[in-house]
Amino acid sequence: MLEEAVARDADRELLRTPHDSYTVKELAERVASRAGQLMGDGVERGDRLVLLSDEAATTVELWLACAWLGAVLVPANTALRGPALEHVLRDSGAIGLVVDPELEERLDRVVVPEGLAHRWATRDGGRLQKLPPPGVEIVACSAGPGETAALLYTSGTTGPAKGVLCPHAQWYWWAVTTGRVVGVGAGDVLHTSLPLFHTNALNAFCQALVHDATLVAGERFSASRFWSRLRSAGATVTYLLGPMVSILLRTAPGADDARHGVRVALAPATTAEAYAPFRERFGVELIDAWGSTETSCVLSNVPGDIVPGTMGRALAEFQARVVDENDDEVPDGAAGELVVRSNVPFAFATGYHGRAEQTVSAWRNLWLHTGDRVVRDGDGRFRFLDRMGDVIRRRGENISSFEVERVLHEHPLVAAAAVVPVPSKLGEDDVLAYVVARDDGVLDPVDLIRFCEPRLAYFAVPRYVEFVDELPVTPTGRVEKYRLRERGLTQSAWDREAAGVEVQR
């Protein structure tokens, strides 16, 4: 894709960040020489390299450079700490690590695997050696469409996070399908404030690459500065998450609300009530769609045929069904699990790294089981209801209740703990922890939060804590989470936001 983009328009601006700008040709040359440096330092085809960085240009360069020589980048969530970070370093089997200097202290709280032979900083200012300068340009390897181009870790549900094996062709199909839905064309300026360690922003880059557009990878989302940044960037397309839409609508109206060039925003998980007010106030059409790290853009509304509150219909390249616990398809209007599959080769992930049994289970009967509970109407549109698994989604991030509970259980005064989602006023979820204290201890919720802080990503630290005498369990001792979810938020729950307790990012 990069080589063909060079052949079409080498001097087009492809990537812009707050500090850098690259034409197609400049990025291609840098990628080829960065691949030469990595190869010269011993990185080989099939090797994996973990990246812990908030720098968009570095992420894109290393991702493409690894793909150029047949290696695999593992862009880790920069909020990871403690056991979750150590799991990625160990489970990925990576031979190298590249990290921002200000994030190096995270490594002090984990056991770094001996196999991480290469440890570099993205720039000066840290304890690690700075990543060497680009080397001699090398010719791109002849990678097949099914070879892995990135290893992305999603949140675990009942166990540790799984590494998703994303092949080269998956990124092409992401670009083709999402670009078509949003209407990306030559000359468009795509703006994202989402991090490049997630599928969404990496996909946005591929859209720019395939459709001859420019990606502006901006600073992290700020409601007060969002529209001014898009005006400065000359953006025509942007990418939001449902909670971000709610936050923007809550800001005070201003004379400049519609003074920008953005015509459309891809905004999955937006509430039906937000569409009309958002379009009227900001002049932007919202498009809801569905995809996951394991897939491409499978379901989507399309301009001119948008039904707010739905995920749209299956795109031509894919199939989607709603099934019961035996994988039998249920009638329209009945709730069940969303399962999907592709009509084109390698548009989906090829499995979970090192987890053959979980791969077979997720792809059983030749359909990918998403874990999302949905209904389909008579027009073929899908509507999301909730998650079938034990996973929490907050501000666009998937949170593993397993990981949060594991940290809570490490506290010396915690006898038992269970974590469930509760509705957030901004959409999606907040985290509620039910905690049973040991007989000989008195737990302070603030102390519990401070204990979690260095061990969990900031977005996974519970907002609510409710102390209980016991947890509901089955005869075999398993916690009955459904009873806790049904109980929901009560007046006895402690709220750290109401208490003014901030969590370090």
Burial class (CB in 10 A: 0-12, 13-18, 19+), 130: middle
Amino acid (1-letter code) at residue 413: L
Rg (CA), the chain: 23
Strands in 291-349 per DSSP E: 299-300, 313-314, 318-323, 336-342
Burial class (CB in 10 A: 0-12, 13-18, 19+), 249: middle
CATH superfamily of the 189-387 domain: ANL, N-terminal domain (3.40.50.12780)
* Domain ranges for the chain: 2-7+23-143, 189-387, 391-495
How many alpha carbons lie under 13 Å from residue 176 in its C-beta half-sphere?
14
**How many DSSP H helices and E strands does the chain contain?**
13, 27
**Residues 6 or more apart from 305 whose CB is under 8 A from it?**
none
CA separation, residue 158 to residues 145, 260, 350 (Å): 32, 44, 21
Sign of CA dihedral 326, 329, 333, 338: positive
**Residues 6 or more apart from 487 whose CB is under 8 A from it?**
none
Is the separation of the CB atoms in 60 and 14 below 8 Å?
Answer: no
Backbone angles phi, psi at 299, to 5 degrees: -115, 145
* 2-7+23-143 shares its CATH topology with 189-387: yes
- Name the DSSP letter for residue 363: T
CA-based nearest residue to 304, from 320, 287, 292, 290 = 287
Tell me the CA end-to-end span of the chain in Å, nearest whole number.
36
Amino acid (1-letter code) at residue 393: R
CA distance 202 to 387: 25
Tally the residues of the chain.
505
The two three-digit tokens of residue 375, written as one number: 């209904």
Looking at domain 391-495, its CATH architecture is 2-Layer Sandwich (3.30)
Q: Could you list the pLDDT tens digit for every one of the 505 residues in the chain?
A: 999 999 999 999 999 999 999 999 999 999 999 999 999 999 999 999 999 999 999 999 999 999 999 999 999 999 888 888 999 999 999 999 999 999 999 999 899 999 999 999 999 999 999 999 999 999 999 999 999 999 999 865 556 789 999 999 999 999 999 999 999 999 999 999 999 999 999 999 999 999 999 999 999 999 999 999 999 999 999 999 887 898 899 899 999 999 999 999 999 988 888 899 999 999 999 999 999 999 999 999 999 999 999 999 999 999 999 999 999 999 999 989 999 999 999 999 999 999 999 999 999 999 999 988 899 999 999 998 777 766 677 777 778 777 788 788 888 888 888 898 888 877 778 899 999 888 766 788 999 999 999 988 889 999 999 998 888 865 445 677 778 888 888 888 999 988 888 887 7
pLDDT for res 344: 98
Strands in 401-463 per DSSP E: 414-423, 429-437
**Residues 6 or more apart from 139 whose CB is under 8 A from it?**
32
- The CATH number that domain 2-7+23-143 falls under is 3.40.50.980
CA distance 120 to 22: 23
Amino acid (1-letter code) at residue 136: V
The model carries a pTM of 0.83
